[in-house]
Amino acid sequence: MAILEVEDLVSGYSEVMILNGVSIHCGDNEIVSIIGPNGAGKSTLMKSIFGLISVKQGSVAFDGRSIIGMRPNQLVKLGMSYVPQEKNVFPSLTVEENLQMGAFIRNDDLTGSMDRVFELFPFIADKRKSVSGTLSGGGRQMLALGRALMLEPRLLLLDEPSAGLAPLVRDEIFEKVMEIQQSGVAILMVEQNAKKALGMSDRGYVLVMGKNRYEDTGEALLANPEVGRLYLGGA
Amino acid sequence: MLQLIANGIIFGSIIALGAIGLTMVYGILKFANFAHGDTMSLGAYLALLFLSLQVPFPIAVVLAIAVSIAVAILIDHYLYRFFRTTGPIILLIASVGVALFLRNVILLFWGPDLTYYSRAIHLDFEVIPGISMNSYEIGIIIVTAALIVLVHLFLKKTRIGKAMRASSDNMDLAEVVGIDTRRVIIWTWSVGTALAVFGGIMLGLENGLRPPMGWQLLLPLFAAAILGGIGQPYGAMVGGLIIGIAQEVSTGFISTAYKPAVAFIIMILVLLIRPQGIFGGSKRWI
Amino acid sequence: MALEMNVEMKNSDDLLKVEGICKSFGKMLAVNQCSLEVSKGTITALIGPNGAGKTTLFNLISGFHKPDTGKVFLKGDRIDGLRPDKIFHKGLIRTFQISRELEKMTLLENLMLVPGQQEGEIIWNAWFRPWRVRAQEKQVKERALETLRFVELFHLKDEYAGNLSTGQKRLLEIARTMMADPEIVLLDEPGAGVNPTLMNKLIGYIHQLNGRGITFLIVEHNMELVMTICDPIIVMNAGSILTQGTPPQIRNDERVINAYLGD
Amino acid sequence: MDLSGLFSYFVFFLVIVSVYGLLSLGLNIQWGYTKLFNIGIAGFFAVGAYTSAILTTPPAMDRVGGFNMPFLPALVIAVLLSGFIAFLIGIPTLKLKEDYLAIATIGIAETIRLFFNNEAWLANGVRGVSGIPRPFQHYITFNYNLFYLLLMVVFVIGVYLAIEKALKSPWGRVLKAIGEDETVTQAMGKNIIRYKMESLVLGSMIMGMAGSLYAHFIQFISPEVFVPMSATFLVWVMLIAGGSGSNKGALLGALVIWGLWSLTDLITNVVPVDYAVKAGAFRVIAIAIFLEVILLVRPQGILGEKSVMKAAKKQEQE
């Protein structure tokens, strides 16, 4: 069953539409990657799903229920978390405080969730009292992931989790994403590093010019030579 | 000299209380609120009003704070809210209008003359050798210290306090993680206004009440906020004390009338040498 | 100093030369030891995945950022560390990723603003030499109208720039760079938000202007545009220059495809 | 009030409108075009007025001055001095965000007022300077106020034409561009600091001129005149109501707002003295509300340009 279903989505800024009819879906406990050349509308798709850009046309359903027009603080209550591409931690707050902010809508005890996050990311557990602005890029990305997990979501939207990271750190992040999925969270991920993303995904979509061009299993897309050409305009 | 520094700490405490609110509003709502000084006057006069109704002093303070907060939130709801997308300058102009409005409402109800909370005379006594104060002044320092500790605990320990710091860091991300930013805005006005009212009442205790009392404090408030790095409450606390002490110590050398000018000159020097303030540099709240 | 530069630049017809430039923001190294040359008369592309540092490099060249280390030469003169307006007067004009028109000014005003050394920009002349100002304004206006005709926006000359569509704003941007009489134009994603028809028009204009001797350095994601008109293509990845070559070379370069797909 | 009384009231009224018209025109250069946020108008107004007062009065025992200087050279010095002070303020603030200029200008205005308030040796402190001579008084055989109105009209028209000329020239085009987007304007090769400085200085010089002309008309000035309310805030309301960016709007705003202000003043005069202060407060409240309503309902002012025309979006050319 699909936890997220996007049909014929059209959205963009004022008069310019970036997405011109995107249809994707993400099953329970699937990792789905969205790749494509720059300017294809990948980030816009994420923001449109998460209610940060108003949708002009089409439908977005979470768990069979339309979520169009909902604001982010309503969506997180439903069990959807979003990790933006950059500026995704509060730099003046400590690691622990960042995690608490992730669970802002929760009123119960957070220690259990926080322990789980620290278990997943021992690196930030050591720095729980440090101000997050002093963390490295990788540390910040881990913190952002951890913060999104504080709500124990059922679907995680990741916008380029590997952007700006050194190869070793990046691989570590991807491993963590796999672990998160194995713990029972569905993941929809936009990634620039197509090889890595498709390599770990159940399925993938290739977005070109605001439309999904290819849809297949991760392996099949990786093997498809057309996909590589798309990036250099050979379509 | 010691006495001047002590006076500076008293006056600096009042400035610090005002500057914290000013800098919080700047950090979260992103505009220079020129009505903040007049909010201090409003609080001071409301306390006078409740005292005249024979309400005990502590309760009068609480009531004054409650009413001032209500006024601040109403103004935000019916006025500032509409300018959030039009940029900081229109908000600034609107706040100058609000400042005049508040000051003249005070003038309308209480008149222009100097008034006091109480006619009782509090004698100075020597606290430590070389420094004398009256009981009010000791109270001002103690209450300010207590409030600063409370603000610190509020920002560091409470959920909403942390959410305020988070929103000041990045309002968009705050929305994304599910923080109710409308509530944050209400709390910002509440905390800022409450501190302003405390500051206003203390100013009234120290110097008596006149309608322009808060407006005349605006320059030192901004100087303190800029000195501490605008948007940073801890910076504003230290900035307030520095400005207060500098103003009082200056009276040892030049006419007392130039106190506001001293704040101004410090501010210009800071802008010239280190525009991000002494604690600026990064956007951290220390 | 001047001597040293002459030696460095000898035997080179590079119009723009960047040498070992670095820039970091906080802990993030955005541009790392970048060196590149843009030869006179070329349409050079600068491509690379998001976050490669292309726009930062543009900002470094055009004076909006100051490099941490490294040098930038324009026609043999060092321009790094100069203010953007000084660099403009040396013959370099740039556009912005999101078109930034002066929205409350008409198209005509937008264009008439551009030419440098206008007599009427000195207030003294506006008052005391009105005839000279007027004569020059007439010339500038004629040129602006002619330029608007060139990009086929003439009928909108009195419209506010804020009312243009995204595509039209891109055309206005091209028109604006023409008004500057530049030696080299840095275009930051001229094709963003432009439909295919307009894109062809845009390509045509760039070609024509190049024919008149204007050199281009273009950051662009639309590979259609890059592959049709640009040669050479410089590829940036993770803050450094990855490679440089002709469109077929780049298209078949595994390293480039890998840079885009990740390795 | 009989007919001649009404007439002389009207003349007086228009002279003050002209003074405010000059202030409003000066602010329009700074805010209307360049988006420089000056809320220290009172300071430049005061410098102009005091310079004239000190230079043209006869020698006095208890203060500096009394240079018995003629009207015109004093006016020129007043204007230049106002410009010089604006220049000094511009150095630290023009590079920073606009809020800082706002805070710095109100700071300098208050400092200037404090200075004249306290330095009695300079200009008599709180008691102010009286007996400022009226220019050409001995040559005027008819109603002097009427003559002064004509003089003011000459100045207002002169300033209006001069700045209209400058603002409609390429110089003004650059200012307008800076007001819209500094970064792009800099990318178009304009030295934005230079233009911002010119705009700040020129606008402040006009404010200084207004101060000088005011002093010569009223013949008496004291620090009380230069409080932020009447000398800064009212000017802002005038420009915003009239329409910032439009010189005609600036003048119309001065007329309309001073009209309203005087009308409420008439009401103040009717009520018993005991209520005068309260009525005064009421006036300011009314003006403050008026400002907020304009900001909410018609932010571009009476004659201001609409920010973006409602013209239908042009279709993408196919």
> With bands split at pLDDT 50, 70 and 90, how would you rate the model's confidence at D316?
very low
C184 and C96: one domain? Answer: yes
Helix (H, G, I), strand (E, B) or coil at C242: strand
Average confidence (pLDDT) over B41-68: 95
Q: What is the pLDDT of residue B231?
A: 79
Burial of D168 (C-beta count, 10 Å sphere; 0-12/13-18/19+):
middle
Lowest pLDDT segment from A60-74, B156-170, D51-65: D51-65
C93 and C111: one domain? Answer: no
Residue B250 lies in a domain: no
Query: Chain C: nearest CA to A38, how far in angstroms?
Result: 6
Cβ under 8 Å to D: C residues 213-242: none
Could you list the residue range(s) of the whole structural domain that residue A97 is in?
2-231
- Side by side, the strands of the sheet bearing A2-13 are A16-27, A2-13, A55-62, A65-66
Which tops the pLDDT comparison, C167 or B224? B224
- Taking any CB pair shorter than 8 Å as contact, residues of chain D touching chain B are 35, 37, 39, 92-93, 96, 98-100, 102-104, 106-108, 110-111, 114-115, 117-118, 229, 233, 236, 240, 277-278, 280-282, 284-285, 287-289, 291-292, 295-296, 299
pTM: 0.85
- Residues of chain A with C-beta less than 8 angstroms from the C-beta of C243: none
pLDDT (tens digit per residue) in C71-85: 999 999 999 989 999
Which tops the pLDDT comparison, A129 or C8? A129
Burial of A141 (C-beta count, 10 Å sphere; 0-12/13-18/19+):
buried
Q: What is the dihedral of CA D148, D154, D160, D166, to 10 degrees?
A: -130
Cα–Cα dist A153/B177, whole Å = 12
> What does pLDDT average to over chain C?
88
> With bands split at pLDDT 50, 70 and 90, how would you rate the model's confidence at C13?
confident
Q: What is the pLDDT of residue D118?
A: 86
Q: What is the pLDDT of residue A225?
A: 82
Distances (CA, A) of C73 to A77, C19, C185, C231: 55, 8, 15, 21
Cα–Cα dist A193/C237, whole Å = 12
> With bands split at pLDDT 50, 70 and 90, how would you rate the model's confidence at A212?
confident
Average confidence (pLDDT) over B98-116: 92
Distances (CA, A) of D318 to B201, C147, D313: 68, 20, 15
Cα–Cα dist D227/C195, whole Å = 58
Using DSSP, how many helices (H) and how many strands (E) does chain C show?
Answer: 11, 10
Q: What is the pLDDT of residue A134?
A: 87
Domain CATH number, residue A57:
3.40.50.300
Residue B224 lies in a domain: no
Q: What is the pLDDT of residue C27?
A: 72
Return the number of CB contacts < 8 Å for A and B: 70
- Residues of chain C with C-beta less than 8 angstroms from the C-beta of A193: 261-263
> With bands split at pLDDT 50, 70 and 90, how would you rate the model's confidence at B70?
very high
> With bands split at pLDDT 50, 70 and 90, how would you rate the model's confidence at B30?
confident
> What does pLDDT average to over chain D?
87
Could you list the residue range(s) of the whole structural domain that residue B42 is in?
2-218
- Residues of chain A with C-beta less than 8 angstroms from the C-beta of C221: 37-39
Q: What percent of chain B has pLDDT over 70?
A: 97
Tell whether A191 lies on the interface with C, counting CB pairs under 8 A.
yes
Paired residues of D221 in beta bridges: D129
What six digits make up the tokens of C69? Answer: 């280390």
- Residue B275 pLDDT greater than 80, yes or no: no
Domain CATH number, residue C42:
3.40.50.300
Q: Tell me the H-state helices in chain B.
A: 2-29, 36-52, 57-78, 88-110, 135-157, 159-169, 171-176, 181-207, 218-227, 233-250, 259-273
Cα–Cα dist B34/D288, whole Å = 13
Tell whether B166 lies on the interface with A, counting CB pairs under 8 A.
yes
Distances (CA, A) of D296 to A111, B91, D259, D290: 48, 11, 22, 10
Q: Are the Cβ atoms of D111 and B100 closer than 8 angstroms?
A: no
| Confidence check on the interface: ipTM exceeds 0.90, yes or no | no
Residue B234 lies in a domain: no
C114 and C46: one domain? Answer: no
> With bands split at pLDDT 50, 70 and 90, how would you rate the model's confidence at A1?
low
Task: State the total domains in chain A.
Answer: 1
- Residue D34 pLDDT greater than 60, yes or no: yes
Q: Are the Cβ atoms of A194 and C260 closer than 8 angstroms?
A: yes
pLDDT (tens digit per residue) in A35-75: 988 778 888 899 999 988 888 889 999 998 999 888 888 89
- Residue C26 pLDDT greater than 80, yes or no: no
Residue C173 lies in a domain: no
Q: Are the Cβ atoms of A232 and C49 closer than 8 angstroms?
A: no
Q: What is the pLDDT of residue B279?
A: 66
Q: What percent of chain D has pLDDT over 70?
A: 94
Q: What is the pLDDT of residue A14?
A: 66
Residue D201 burial (CB count, 10 A): 20
Nearest CA in chain B to D107: B264
Distances (CA, A) of B141 to B136, B153, B215: 9, 18, 22
What six digits make up the tokens of C88? Answer: 């403009």
Could you list the residue range(s) of the whole structural domain that residue C34 is in?
7-101+180-261
C139 and C243: one domain? Answer: no
Q: Are the Cβ atoms of A93 and B179 closer than 8 angstroms?
A: no
- The chains found to touch D (3+ Cβ pairs under 8 angstroms) are B, C
Give the orientation angle of helix B57-78 with respect to helix B181-207, to 10 degrees. 130
- Residues of chain C with C-beta less than 8 angstroms from the C-beta of A221: none
Token look-up 């030469």 returns: C73
Of B94, B111, B264, the CB nearest to D292: B94
Strand duo B125-128 + A65-66: pairing? unpaired
- The chains found to touch A (3+ Cβ pairs under 8 angstroms) are B, C
> With bands split at pLDDT 50, 70 and 90, how would you rate the model's confidence at A233?
low
Q: Which residues, in sequence order, are CB contacts of B65 under 8 Å at separation 6+? A: B43, B193, B194, B197, B198
pLDDT (tens digit per residue) in D262-285: 887 777 777 776 777 788 888 889
C12 and C76: one domain? Answer: yes
Which tops the pLDDT comparison, D313 or A180? A180
Q: What is the pLDDT of residue B73?
A: 97
- Residue B250 pLDDT greater than 60, yes or no: yes
Burial of D222 (C-beta count, 10 Å sphere; 0-12/13-18/19+):
middle
Residue C14 lies in a domain: yes
- Residue B15 pLDDT greater than 50, yes or no: yes
- Residue B283 pLDDT greater than 60, yes or no: no
> With bands split at pLDDT 50, 70 and 90, how would you rate the model's confidence at C1?
very low
Task: State the total domains in chain C.
Answer: 2
pLDDT (tens digit per residue) in C197-251: 888 888 999 999 999 999 999 998 888 788 888 989 999 988 899 999 999 898 8
Q: Which residues, in sequence order, are CB contacts of D109 under 8 Å at separation 6+? A: D39, D40, D41, D42, D43, D44, D46, D226, D228, D232
The verdict on whether omega for the bond into residue B129 sits within 30 degrees of 0, i.e. cis, is no
What's the first-to-final CA gap in chain A, in angstroms? Answer: 33
Cα–Cα dist D289/D299, whole Å = 14
